[in-house]
Structure 1
């Protein structure tokens, strides 16, 4: 398809990746982000091979790998430190060409922003409407902060609470609370930890960490809790709750500043959307398939979306045909990954009954050593399309 003009609503990881992909195939792209600062306030992120392959297709994989730390050692434990399953990052690297890597979300966001000209980013501007153009300049018009942006294609990467999704699918129930809430932070200073990545499962609780290249760590605590429940002093609550859990959990919390702790309920699109496109508008990332974090695939799937979208637009005779291909490729895969993530949470962090926890732990201990690798391969072994 000849080059055109696109507007991307949302300047998160998925939105920036989509803009990079479309620019890579010769399109003019404007990213509209309502936040006053174009940055990612999240803590850390793990990227599996599929996410890295998508970044490679978009031309930024090498830069991300250079800023990340490979996750070669670690696994899943019980609160007293006993192993349930070990992760073999070297086996993953042999199978996929890369281990899982960990990187601060802010660093990933910065590397993606660096691929786009400053003039392509409208920050602190909200996209209020997408409507047919009155005359010329593209089939669609995006109203944003008093501006009218013509667009041959609109990419709605506006997150879990996507306004665009509500307009396109008004009967869809929207996000649903998963039953879990997550607190997370990055330590103030480097910490000592034996593994690059670990998860610890208690009863209705999970504590995990990933190590970064500079020696700091991101940790997260996921708890069964009512929606909206908050603590007067979140860090003090976690230090008390996890005081008897194995090393390095107390040390990670001790190395954290109280103001660094983020707290969000885990919401998802539990009801799958009937489509990711309407006319010349495509939903991408959490706007299309927000999922629980139990497989670490949310950002990876958004990056896949971006690569597939750019390849589809480049290879189709029209935007409409391109978006039909995008929908056909992305909807089955992302909705399957979302179902698998939900199930992983129910059998992992959310499991609270002592007998059920004991059975799960026994099954994990008895499983062959390659089962964990095969579980990761099931979602990470994805081939990226050629972009540009």
Structure 2
């Protein structure tokens, strides 16, 4: 029987928390996951997993299963809200492929890889301290490592990183929904002046849709005169199945650990979904953190620059996709449509490779375990 490295308590049973549970268990830790909900339910809408996430899932032993949801290669366009084609591309121009799936399906796959006895459902964490104590309504437990994976509204972050301040409200409205029907022929994204939307094919003949808008836009009605298939995809969904809300973000801490406590996922770097990297970075975090633990300073050094850069790009990306200015949108349309498709695809592939496709699990030589 393998000797335990130590005891790890994980606050939050979402993508980051379950990924951390799998990775830490593989590294020899004795793991307990605290999840506030009584059961894993169909929360949220779709997630997109790019090449970096698939590599992290390979480490977790789940890459092959997740790749069964790979989006088949097909044409995809970038258009403006009048229907003018700005860029012609294909799904395979995203190096390494893309997976689109319901968040609940990803959670189900991750949860199935974590032994039931390691998960405490309905466990409300009321306090965590730097010494590794987790207090719930049922009592207190001591851990060698505490992983805060409790999301954008992280209570752990608020308690132990109070100088970060509150979650930032962006003022940007967002809508996400999934349709149980095949994606139409014209998939891709549409860029407007104040808003953007996208259509992504999913395995199992389903379609992922998303939209985001700056003020003054506050309703999906804004998109009803946009080019097909946008209006029909809005008309086809039950309003009760649309996940709505304001986009939120946080300031990335200078240090992602404190004492025996470490931040991962949205608790560490919640950002706008411009790059579709929320779930991807959470899975990266889980792998790197488990490789480094208990050297949390090393984890922070390996991760902070990357996630901070992603946060900055995500924050400013909407200046291109929905700039809020008629003149800027017109210049954007002119510049992108004037670029030959081949050149646009080369730029797309280069950006995708640089930002996403180059991530690899850090080698053992780069991970030096020290005192925390």
Corresponding position of 1:173: 165
TM-score under structure 2 length normalisation: 0.90
Residue 164 and residue 74 in structure 1: after superposition, are their counterparts in 2 closer, same or farther (change >3 A)? Answer: same
Aligned residues: 357
CA distance in 2, matches of 1:253, 1:385: 43
Corresponding position of 2:290: 310
CA distance in 1, matches of 2:296, 2:73: 35
**Is contact 1:128–1:144 with CA below 8 Å preserved after alignment?**
yes
3-state DSSP class of the match of 1:75? Answer: strand
Corresponding position of 1:77: 79
Corresponding position of 2:318: 345
- In structure 2, stretches of 5+ residues that fail to align are 365-372
CA distance in 2, matches of 1:162, 1:219: 27
3-state DSSP class of the match of 1:86? Answer: strand
State how 1:1-388 maps to structure 2 within 5 Å.
3-70=5-72, 72-93=74-95, 98-131=96-129, 140-187=132-179, 189-195=180-186, 197-225=187-215, 237-238=219-220, 240-269=221-250, 271-313=251-293, 319=294, 322-349=295-322, 351-367=323-339, 368-369=343-344, 370-381=346-357, 382-385=359-362
3-state DSSP class of the match of 2:282? Answer: helix
Residue 122 and residue 33 in structure 1: after superposition, are their counterparts in 2 closer, same or farther (change >3 A)? Answer: same
3-state DSSP class of the match of 1:372? Answer: helix
Q: Deviations over 1:150-204 (max 9, x none)?
A: 21100001111111111111121231112211011111x3144114x51111111
Residue 75 and residue 311 in structure 1: after superposition, are their counterparts in 2 closer, same or farther (change >3 A)? Answer: farther
TM-score under structure 1 length normalisation: 0.87
Q: CA deviation at 1:2?
A: 5.6
Q: Deviations over 1:67-121 (max 9, x none)?
A: 343464313211232222233333444xxxx212211111111100010111111
**Is contact 1:51–1:304 with CA below 8 Å preserved after alignment?**
yes
Q: CA deviation at 1:254?
A: 2.4
**Is contact 1:14–1:306 with CA below 8 Å preserved after alignment?**
yes
Taking only aligned residues, the RMSD between alpha carbons, in angstroms, comes to: 2.0
**Is contact 1:191–1:252 with CA below 8 Å preserved after alignment?**
no
Q: Deviations over 1:197-251 (max 9, x none)?
A: 511111111111211111111111211137xx97xxxxxx52x322221121122
- In structure 1, stretches of 5+ residues that fail to align are 133-138, 231-236, 314-318
**Is contact 1:69–1:103 with CA below 8 Å preserved after alignment?**
no
Q: Deviations over 1:284-333 (max 9, x none)?
A: 011111110001111111111001011112xxxxx2xx101100000111
**Is contact 1:12–1:40 with CA below 8 Å preserved after alignment?**
no
